[in-house]
Amino acid sequence: MDQPIILDQLLKHSKKGMVSFHVPGHKSGKIYERFNYKNFTGQLLSMDITEIPGADNLHAPEEMIREAQERAAKFYKADQTFFLVDGTSCGIIAMLMAVANPGDKVIVPRDCHKSVIHGLILGNITPIYIQPEVWAEKGISMGVRPEAVEKALKECPEAKAVLITYPNYYGVCSDIEAIATIIHKYDKILLVDEAHGAHFNLSELLPISALEAGADIAVQSTHKTLPAFTQASMLHVRSERIDIHRLKVMLAMQQSTSPSYLLMASLDMARFIAESEGKFLMNHLLGHIDAFKSQVEQSGKIKILGKTEAEAHGAKSVDPTKILIDMINLGIQGTVLEELLRTKYHIQMELANINIALAVATIGNERNDFDRLAHGLLNIKDGKGIAHKRIETPLYSYQLPKMKLTPRQSIYMKKTTVDFTDSSGKISGEYIIPYPPGIPILCPGEELTTEVIEYTKALKKNGIQIIGLEDTTLQKINIIEL
């Protein structure tokens, strides 16, 4: 009989004692120990309950879940907070469907997460895309400018809402306050995908939180940057423009009817930790990050990308807890750096692209984690134990693709398979998504170009996973013929 594979792998992984610079924010549970919850994992199974008496019900909360959500709302200064057990993804889909009717238009940046596209498909909503700012040389998108949002609103006055990603995966932040002012001037709704910003209210040194900046709804992956279990997120509303009843209906359609109590408990725990000691811990974390940056940058050649670079490329600010490490001057690609840190130094980064490797630091990280990261980087800089080769990659222009069909129309169209290399000019029937970060280069219904084809092949050659295509070897692609 086949053994259970997932639990075995998880146990094997947990024995490795890796340093975590990736999500989830609890960093292998270390932070819980500091709060005297050392052995609680032993009780996980007996706590994995369902809606038994006294356990309340996420879909009609009246007791402990309601209380926990209210406490979270108070902490985040929201009118209402909803716990999400299917990640920020389900919150994004629900908020889109709560504010737009089938056939309506919503303005979204083209570099949005794929869950936004899923929301557009499910809600039969037509996207009006805004071109984001891009730092093409590093392959990083830099958010959207307020002027670009205003232009889109002028060109599409019938749009129901604007959805902004804030911050993006790399911690880059648009000028959300200016954007909120513009959107409300046009009497529209501001929806924010704040998946990477659940910790912003812990320090004045961090970018302003979306709600504080004026968002009507913000969805946060608490699990990414605070100590909550993977999949555990929150949706906050602070607005009179939102029909709460309709939002609840949409959330109920997107979330499991058997929500995990462990996830909900971890959300409540994350709120408690953030509220009780979050500011203190964040202060320490920012100190560790500053010390780490000076140490590695002093050595020359290792560059940590920050505010100056972000501003120079159109962004308003950058989250310092996202550490973007650039060693390309030494000929070390981000993907190679990630692999070296993982295999030789037992340090797991969050993501890498050709140019950079990204460390996500949270209040769950300790000083020692930064010492180990600095040690690894300095050794790699000195060429210890590495044989790396740089593969040249074409730069990508990040032009808005030609949308021939909406994502929803495309999903239901008949597909034909052709050679990927010869598919320029055809309409893609599939997504092309480098993962991470999960931002589509092309969505179903958009026109393939030689640039997209060559760039996708180069990413794959450089070890970046491409998802969304049925044939992940990139020999074939499904297209739509009109």
Ligand X SMILES: Cc1ncc(COP(=O)(O)O)c(C=O)c1O
| Interface residue with ligand X, options 195, 269, 318, 351 (CB under 6 A) | 195
Closest to ligand X by CB, 221 or 335: 221
| Contact pattern for ligand X over residues 340 through 359, marking x by CB under 6 A | --------------------
* Residue 164: both structure tokens together: 């902004």
Query: Least distance from C-beta 165 to ligand X, angstroms?
Result: 5
Whether 386 contacts 338, CB under 8 Å: no
Closest to ligand X by CB, 61 or 438: 438
Closest to ligand X by CB, 143 or 214: 143
Query: Least distance from C-beta 237 to ligand X, angstroms?
Result: 18
Tokens 């292998």 found at: 28
Query: Least distance from C-beta 382 to ligand X, angstroms?
Result: 34
Look at residue 410 and give its three-state secondary structure.
Answer: helix
Closest to ligand X by CB, 268 or 423: 268
Chain centroid to CA 335: how far? 19
Question: What 8-state DSSP symbol labels residue 447?
Answer: B
| Residue 172 binds ligand X (CB under 6 A) | no
Q: How far apart are the first and last CA of the chain?
A: 49
H/E run at residue 6: helix 5-15
Tokens 């480098």 found at: 434
Closest to ligand X by CB, 113 or 138: 113
* Residue 195: both structure tokens together: 């998946």
Of all residues in this chain, which one has the CB nearest to ligand X in the complex? Answer: 87
Number of residues located near ligand X, criterion CB under 6 A: 13
Phi and psi, residue 255, nearest 5°: -105, 150
**Residues between 399 and 458 that touch ligand X (CB under 6 A):** 437-438
Query: Least distance from C-beta 86 to ligand X, angstroms?
Result: 7
Closest to ligand X by CB, 170 or 370: 170
Query: Least distance from C-beta 170 to ligand X, angstroms?
Result: 10
**Residues between 26 and 55 that touch ligand X (CB under 6 A):** none
H/E run at residue 141: strand 140-141
Query: Least distance from C-beta 415 to ligand X, angstroms?
Result: 26
What is the pairing mode between strands 140-141 and 433-435?
unpaired
Closest to ligand X by CB, 111 or 430: 111
What is the pairing mode between strands 303-305 and 322-326?
antiparallel
List the one residue out of 290, 396, 383, 308 whose CA is nearest residue 353.
Answer: 396
Closest to ligand X by CB, 226 or 373: 226
Tokens 């980087």 found at: 377
Query: Least distance from C-beta 233 to ligand X, angstroms?
Result: 5
Closest to ligand X by CB, 360 or 380: 360
Query: Least distance from C-beta 153 to ligand X, angstroms?
Result: 22
| Residue 169 binds ligand X (CB under 6 A) | yes
Query: Least distance from C-beta 391 to ligand X, angstroms?
Result: 26
Q: Which residues contact 328 (CB under 8 A, 6 or more apart)?
A: 334, 355, 356, 390
Chain centroid to CA 73: how far? 22
**Residues between 77 and 96 that touch ligand X (CB under 6 A):** 87-89
| Residue 22 binds ligand X (CB under 6 A) | no
| Interface residue with ligand X, options 193, 216, 309, 338 (CB under 6 A) | 193
CA 210 – CA 200 distance, rounded (Å): 9
Closest to ligand X by CB, 168 or 478: 168
| Interface residue with ligand X, options 26, 105, 113, 316 (CB under 6 A) | 113
**Residues between 206 and 265 that touch ligand X (CB under 6 A):** 221, 233
Query: Least distance from C-beta 250 to ligand X, angstroms?
Result: 16
Distances in Å between the Cα of 55 and the Cα atoms of 59, 197, 259, 271, 295 are 12, 29, 11, 19, 49
Cis preceding linkage at 4, omega within 30: no
CA 229 – CA 459 distance, rounded (Å): 31
What is the identity of the amino acid at 442?
Answer: L
Residues that bind ligand X (CB under 6 A): 87-89, 113, 115, 165, 169, 193, 195, 221, 233, 437-438
